[in-house]
Amino acid sequence: MQQSVPSDDHTPSPVHGLQEAVPRRRDWLAGLEMNAAAIAGYPGASLLQKGRERELWWIPPSPSRPTLVAKVHREKDLSARLRRRLGWGRARLEWHFLKSAEAREVPVPRPVGWFTSPDGDGVFTEYLLDTEPFPQYLQQFEGAERAVVLHKLGELVARLVKAGLEARDLHTGNILARGSDATSTQLWVVDLHDARLRLSLLPAAQERMLIQVAQALGGVRSGSDVEQMLEGWAAAARQWGIDARWGRGPVTSVGGVARQAVCPQKREYIERIVERKERRRRMKRLRRGVSIRRSHSSGNGHTWTRFPHSQRRVFPDRLRWRTQTEKSLSANSLMRSWHGNLVEQLLLHRPPPALLYRRSRGALGWRHHLLEPEPEGKSLREWLIDSDSTGAMESVLREVRHLHRQGIRLGSAVPERWHLQKTQEGWSTRIDPHCLEYQGIVSAHERLKDLLAVTSHYGEKISRTDRLRWIIAGIEQESDRRMLLKDWRRGFEGMAKALSDPRSLPWSEKTITAVSARVGQAGESLSVDRVAALHRLNEANAPEVGSLETETFTALLQKAQRIWTIDDPLNCDDDPAGLLVVMMRDSDYDSPNFQWFQRGFDRFAYVDRIAIDERSRRQGIGEGLYLTLEAWARHRGLKRIVCEVNLHPRNETSLAFHFGFGFREVGQFIGRGKGVMMLEKLL
């Protein structure tokens, strides 16, 4: 391959190959081909890191050179390709900033050379032995030693500012560390392709770099890490004449590193900006976690659904369905519940429990519906009444502290909202996602209020002393404990009583149970009395649903692909409040309406009948059953839900319900002597 070895001030030539090298390290490149594709085939080379536009290769040492790293840039976006054509690709920019940083005594890997090739441009640098990314390195230290390492991190930022280098991607993952202890720690900046070189950095640019580092450390959630990093920065900034306004008091030395107390206004300013950026970043992740689907063309409703790869493969038999009207929403609690599920998935890295969320507009205004598996395990109240409950409250308090550190608030976290299971490893603790609300920073008063909600128990076996002991155990800061001990008698009783009132729970929720399943699940065996109760419900809904003899109805249930029932003890006592019978395309069913769909449609779920008890109508029972069907059909990979509605006599109520739920007419048919409208909802 033809190579051109230019001088240091050489403008890149269109000829590919080595473009520039540090003269005293030129021999290190002997035997290496200056081609991005050839680096992968070099004997002993191994891939350290790979991204969409960047690769990092480890090059083994030889008698003429130490171990090297080749960073290959493959520009793919239009602006980057244009810069590369003009001779200012990312590889050349990084090479330029590495040389400038080394000349200004900024700790960076020693640059060796850079090249261009048709497959990408690359930079060779020295490989830093026995180093690791700064976040992993920092985990080794606690207390005073951790403070020394963080002071050195602040000093590194000051060294970049002194050199006039604005590192625009300066986070702790781009900093390598090495050392046998905190005092011997050495730090290097390893990624400068987005840097800017100035004669001097303005205060705004300095703050941007500090904000990046503080955000990578975790902001206010990192405890004192950000403050200790700023102490190292303040001392170095004063000693080197950068900016003396960051610190106050004398500059002292701890572990051989200078530190200075940080001005509270400056620290609070950095933490406030970091928190705002972190909230914006997390909210962006929350919005990306949902895909929106318009339920029907009139625009009266929207359906959000998620089935990520982590979702359980077996659709749950028991589901909880919740609904609430816009007027009765308490501070958008239903939307917060949906966000709560996203908080679990994206911020707590848990499998999302929500299966489907729908917002629709009807006669009563906007209504919100959420479908999710029924929580597993007994509630916290049940465990505390049980004699074998040692450790239950302690595990809940640990979870509360963890959520508060993440900036997550626990609204209405009453004992019924916590579900626990006892395992061999300890306690498995989950909170109802309705309670989760990302807030960023949780104040001391809000932490106390959440703990009062968790401990709002009124039972014979739970004394006031135990409740107070649990609350105090859940508070980490001594100042909050003193405030609680001072005011608990005045505020505890009233707040706990209000939180334990069932009327304070904003949800209207019911449980939908699958009593038959033919997708690999055993299902639930129906007793003779239950079948008789379902048959009475079916007959009470005739002629809207077809009337059947007892034997025919029993045979229908045995053929069904899926059967869901819902109970409403408040209105219907022990009788079922709703019934939904579903077939799939390959079901053995002789209904002419079903066979009409078989002839022209594929991958569908067919609603054979839906029956609602008259005492439970206008309670959203039908919506809950159809939401369950929609979530199940999406989970099974089906394309559509189909059904028919009577035209003789014309069932206006059912037609309005189906059109409002997103169904559309696909034909009309006369089967078994009566006309029906054939409906379809695409998923």
> Domain of 260: which CATH number?
1.10.510.10
Residues 557, 529: one domain?
yes
Confidence of residue 457 (pLDDT cuts 50, 70, 90): low
Given the DSSP bridges, would you call strands 508-517 and 418-423 parallel, antiparallel or unpaired? unpaired
236-269 tens-digit pLDDT: 999 999 999 999 999 998 888 899 999 999 999 9
- 476 and 592 within one domain: no
| 109 inside domain | yes
275 and 219 assigned to the same domain: yes
Same domain, 605 and 662: yes
Which tokens hold the place of 611?
Answer: 């029956």
Q: Is residue 151 domain-shared with residue 91, that is, in the same domain?
A: no
The tens digit of pLDDT for each residue in 523-554 reads: 566 778 888 889 988 888 887 788 888 888 88
Same domain, yes or no: 496 and 540 = no
pTM over 0.85: no
User: What residues pair up with 71 in beta bridges, in sequence order?
Assistant: 56, 123
In this prediction, residue 7 has a pLDDT band, given cuts at 50, 70 and 90, of very low
Query: What torsion do the CA atoms of 278, 279, 284, 287 make, to the nearest 10 degrees?
Result: 150
Name the pLDDT band for 485 (thresholds 50, 70, 90): low
418 φ/ψ sector (left φ>0, alpha ψ -120 to 50, else beta): beta
Domain boundary among 452, 482, 504: 504
Our count of domains for the chain comes to 4
Whether residue 142 has pLDDT greater than 70: yes
Lowest mean pLDDT of 55-64, 144-153, 422-431, 466-475, name the range. Answer: 466-475
Q: Residue 454 domain-assigned? A: yes
631-640 residue pLDDT tens: 899 888 899 9
Distance CA 478, CA 340 (A): 30
Return the number of other C-beta atoms located less than 10 Å from residue 427's C-beta: 20
| 516 or 11, greater pLDDT | 516
The pLDDT tens digits for 88-102 are: 788 888 899 999 999
Domain boundary pick from 126, 146, 173 = 126
Host domain of residue 624: 510-682
Cβ atoms of residues 236 and 192 within 8 Å? no
Position 639 in a domain? yes
Co-location of 573 and 598 in the same domain: yes
Dist. CA 411–CA 435, nearest whole Å = 5
166 in the same domain as 113: no
- Asked whether residue 160 is domain-assigned, the answer is yes
Report how far residue 196's alpha carbon sits from residue 160's, in angstroms, rounded to the nearest whole number. 11
Position 262 scores a pLDDT of 94
SS (H, E, C) 462-508: CCHHHHHHHHHHCCCCHHHHHHHHHHHHHHHHHHHHHHHCHHHCCCE
CATH number at residue 98: 3.30.200
Summarize the confidence of residues 448-458 as an average pLDDT. 76
What are 428's two structure tokens? 């498995």
Distances, alpha carbon 387 to alpha carbons 169, 382, 441, in Å: 55, 10, 37
pLDDT, tens digit, for every residue of 649-671? Answer: 788 888 888 888 888 899 888 87
263 and 115 within one domain: no
Pairing of strands 301-305, 356-362: antiparallel
669 and 534 in a common domain: yes
Lowest mean pLDDT among 227-236, 273-282, 331-340, 611-620: 331-340
CA 650 to each of CA 219, 276, 539, 647, 661: distance values in angstroms, whole numbers, following the listed order: 63, 57, 18, 4, 18
74-105 as b/e: b if 16+ CB within 10 A = bbeeeebeebbeeeebbbbbbbbbbbbbbeee
- Do residues 538 and 669 share a domain? yes
Domain assignment present for residue 517? The answer is yes
Task: Please choose, from the candidates 617, 612, 621, 665, the residue with its C-alpha nearest in 3D space to the C-alpha of residue 643.
Answer: 665
Which of 72, 102, 126 is the C-terminal boundary of a domain? Answer: 126
Domain-embedded: residue 24 = yes
Spatial separation of the C-alpha atoms in residues 387 and 216, rounded to whole Å:
45
Average pLDDT of the chain, as a whole number? 82
492 and 521 share one domain: no
CB 123 within 8 A of CB 55: no
CATH code of 674's domain: 3.40.630.30
Instruction: State the pLDDT at residue 505.
Output: 54
State residue 538 phi and psi, 5-degree precision. Answer: -65, -45
Whether residue 583 lies inside any domain: the answer is yes
